[in-house]
Amino acid sequence: MMRQYLDIPVAPADLAFGLMADFDADPDPRKVSLIAGAYRDENGLPWVLPSVKEAKSYLDKSPNHEYLGIAGSPTFIKLAQSLILGANFSETLKENIASIQTVSGTGANHMAAVFLAKHLRPQRVFIPSPTWVNHKSIWTMAGVPHEEYPYYSSDTHAVDMAGMLATLETKAEPNDVVILQACAHNPTGVDLSMTQWAEVVRVIKRKNLFVVFDSAYQGFATGDVDGDAWAVRYFVEQLILNAESDVTHPGLCIAQSFSKNFGLYGERVGALHLVVPRHLSPQGAHSELMAIARSEYSNPPRFGAGVVQKVLGDDNLRRQWQEDLSTMSARIKKMRRELRRRLKRLGTAGDWAHIESQIGMFSYTGLNHHDVERLRNEFHIYLLPSGRVSICGLNEGNIDYVARAIREVVGSG
């Protein structure tokens, strides 16, 4: 008998969203969610950025719900290019960039995978271990086998530079893809130093590997939009601008999200930028990206992109936005500092300095699966089994409770 098309196993539920559903259903008043990658204010509530609020009020005065073009808003795309590459690079490379507005960062990563699988045809994509869970899923759906490269050492709470370089040196072949996170690495909160980035780009250049930068936290990591874009701009400089005339590097992609740094999680605002060598034209690539977009969703969402466009294109709103970024970044740094201080004061076993030295939204705490289960079952504190916590979920109202619970499950030193 022919197998029925619905006779398929149930796919595993998404871990993070499943835990958030469990948290929502938990009636315990003490419950704390350290799961979601979304900013919360000091009261544990979603925060609409003042710059975004003002931009929305402006858009409300002139409502327009017409379709955008397939590639999105040209003004938004130009501003997005300038934000990630800097005004000078975006102007210098304007004839060498193919950009398209996407359905947030997930859509940008997906578009890159579909396009590169068809046209670059890599043998493998090299994905950091650990990384954002969707990286593997996206490239698997695109039909490209993945291989992990070591990124984080749990012993040193730092980048496993030796393991990373050794894997790329010995296993990667020309035109293979390497996924790199631009800043505020998810889930570890540990980034490469400038010296380490220089080591990586030398391997990328020598082996003719194709980089896909995932930029989800620009400005959100440190509060400095230019500092958070340093790695991306450095790679563009080294691989494209400073490339020798007789050497052809395949280029690079940047998957850009505006969910975190604008607080527009549900609006799905993003962009994909393909930067090609100086002697090549991106026109064919741009037309192919548009063809992919047309077949999948036709046109990107309008409203969120309009908010970002208004903020980045207005000097006063842009200054306010940078203040908003500083507000979020400063609160996260404070919560890191306070959690470490409380754990130390309680005599908690272990060295918790890494919580404060890590950056961005997430911290790889070092808590094991057993610790995480106890926190959830006994204290109603929810985090991923990996021990990753969203620092944004901490505030003055729950940080003492969280610190005492961690002290209880790991013991004293």
Percent of the chain predicted with pLDDT > 70: 98
Answer whether residue 244 shows pLDDT above 70: no
Residue 2's pLDDT is: 59
What's the confidence (pLDDT) of residue 247?
61
pLDDT higher for 103 or 223?
103
Q: What is the pLDDT of residues 28-44, one digit of tens each?
A: 999 999 998 899 999 99
Confidence label for 362 from pLDDT (cuts 50, 70 and 90): very high
Q: Quickly state the pLDDT bin for 286 (edges 50, 70, 90).
A: very high
pLDDT at site 196: 98
pLDDT value of position 170: 97
Residues with catalytic annotation?
A: 132, 214, 260
Strand pairing category for 177-181 and 269-275: unpaired
Task: Give yes or no for residue 406 having a pLDDT over 60.
Answer: yes
Instruction: Give me the mean pLDDT over the 382-405 stretch.
Output: 95
Map out the domains of the chain with their CATH numbers.
Answer: 15-48+326-407 (3.90.1150.10), 68-313 (3.40.640.10)
| pTM assigned to the model | 0.93
Q: Of the candidates 70, 140, 124, 95, which has an alpha carbon nearest to the alpha carbon of residue 281?
A: 95
Q: What is the mean pLDDT of the chain?
A: 93
Indicate if the pLDDT at residue 134 is higher than 70.
yes
CA angle 19, 352, 196 (to 5 degrees): 90
Give every CB contact of residue 336 below 8 A, 6+ residues apart in sequence: 355, 356, 358, 363, 391
Q: Given this model, what pLDDT does residue 282 score?
A: 87
For position 411, what pLDDT does the model report?
86
Q: In whole angstroms, what is the distance from residue 232 CA to residue 254 CA?
A: 8
Residue of 34, 69, 64 lying closest to 367 (CA atoms) = 34
